[in-house]
């Protein structure tokens, strides 16, 4: 499991089987957790994991849908994400279970951050609100609404949000509302917008991909990791 080689790994949470992807460098390497979009853990997250590994990070890309569950139809994607949006405790338990698996494989969970894309970005913010002791929570073009009855008063790590101003799925009003809430709750945060960038602007090969915003957000992400994690 050591030496920077990536590997698919099975693990269980609440008796159900999940399938993540792990790259462990060494026991002193900082750990980055990744949370997938609404199509599940695919080659996209594996590519991002390898990009991070090339920079010296250990990576655990988690699975919130279940082993072998990688939806391709829109209705299935909506159903799977909708179930977790309706059951926030389950969402949190799945992320916690993935963290425990990363720890069991030797990942340094005391020197770790989590990043997520689209649905994964919304999950990242859910985890931040839960009070999980990670050093940072990073959302790429993620959902930004705060569920009724929740706030960021328990958040322990810094938050970085990267969002496209041409996003027609998550509005700039939601972006502004989150900024106001984080400020009100006294949470250290950074929120960046990219002109002309639509929803899912980092997804290679898609019609929504915007190279300039992707490269700029990746640079800020990796600079943020260097700044917050012990190297």
Closest to 147 (Cα-Cα) out of 169, 187, 120, 177: 177
Q: What percentage of the chain exceeds 70 in pLDDT? A: 98
H or E element that contains 31: strand 30-35
Q: 223, exposed or middle or buried, with CB in 10 Å at 0-12, 13-18, 19+?
A: exposed
> How far apart (Å, rounded) are the C-alpha atoms in residues 141 and 221?
13
Whether pTM > 0.85 for this model: the answer is yes
Closest to 128 (Cα-Cα) out of 161, 152, 104: 152
- b/e string for 107-118 if b means 16 or more Cβ within 10 A? bbbebbbbbbbb
Question: Each residue of 171-215: pLDDT tens digit?
Answer: 999 999 999 999 999 999 999 999 999 999 999 999 999 999 999
* Per-residue pLDDT at 224 exceeds 50: yes
Enumerate domains of the chain plus CATH numbers. Answer: 6-228 (3.40.50.1820)
Distance from the first to the final alpha carbon of the chain? 20
Residues in the chain: 231
In order, the DSSP letters of 120-166 are: HHHHHHHHHHHT---SEEEEES---PPPTT--STT--SEEEEEEETT
Q: Are 210 and 163 in contact (CB under 8 A)?
A: no
Q: Which residues pair with 147 in a beta bridge?
A: none
Q: What is the pLDDT of residue 5?
A: 73
pLDDT confidence of 109, banded at 50, 70, 90?
A: very high
Question: Each residue of 96-107: pLDDT tens digit?
Answer: 999 999 999 999
Please report, for residues 44, 52, 108, 155, the alpha-carbon distance to residue 100 in angstroms, rounded to integers and kept in the order given.
23, 20, 11, 19
H or E element that contains 8: strand 6-13
Specify the DSSP class assigned to residue 189: E
């Amino acid at each position: 499991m050591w030496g920077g080689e990536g590997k698919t790994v099975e693990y269980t949470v609440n008796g159900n089987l999940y399938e993540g992807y792990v790259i462990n460098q060494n026991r002193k390497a900082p750990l980055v957790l990744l949370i997938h979009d609404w199509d599940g853990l695919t080659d996209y997250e594996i590519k991002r994991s390898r990009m991070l590994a090339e920079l010296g990070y250990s990576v655990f890309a988690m699975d919130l849908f279940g082993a072998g569950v990688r939806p391709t139809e829109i209705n299935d994607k909506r159903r799977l994400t909708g179930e977790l949006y309706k059951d926030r405790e389950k969402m949190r338990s799945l992320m916690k279970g993935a963290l425990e698996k990363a720890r069991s494989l030797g990942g340094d969970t005391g020197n770790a951050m989590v990043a997520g894309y689209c649905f994964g970005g919304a999950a990242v913010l859910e985890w931040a609100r839960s009070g999980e002791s990670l050093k940072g929570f990073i959302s790429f073009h993620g959902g930004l609404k705060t569920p009724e009855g929740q706030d960021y008063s328990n958040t322990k790590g810094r938050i970085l949000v990267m969002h496209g101003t041409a996003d027609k799925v998550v509005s700039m009003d939601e972006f502004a509302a989150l900024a106001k809430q984080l400020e009100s709750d006294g949470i250290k945060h950074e929120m960046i917008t990219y002109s002309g960038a639509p929803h899912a602007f980092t997804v290679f090969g898609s019609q929504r991909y915007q190279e300039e915003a992707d490269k700029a957000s990746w640079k800020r992400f990796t600079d943020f990791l260097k700044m917050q994690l012990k190297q």
